[in-house]
Amino acid sequence: MTDTENWVVGCGVEDLDVGEVISIECEGRTLAVYRVSEDLFYSTDDICSHGYTHLSQGFFEDCTTDCPLHGGQWKRSLRAYNDRHSNLSGTYT
Would you state the pLDDT for residue 23? 95
pTM beyond cutoff 0.75: no
3-state secondary structure 22-84: EEEEECCEEEEEEEEECCEEEEEECECCCCCCEHHHCCEECCEEECCCCCCEEECCHHHHCCC
Would you state the pLDDT for residue 31? 93
Would you state the pLDDT for residue 18? 93
- Distance separating alpha carbons of residues 60 and 69, to the nearest angstrom: 14
What are the structural domain ranges in the chain? 18-92
In this structure, are residues 46 and 34 in contact, taking their beta carbons and an 8 Å threshold?
A: no
DSSP state of 21: E
Q: pLDDT tens, 19-56?
A: 999 999 988 999 999 998 898 888 888 988 888 899 99
Topology (CATH level 3) of domain 18-92: Rieske Iron-sulfur Protein (2.102.10)
Q: What is the percentage of the chain residues whose pLDDT exceeds 90?
A: 25
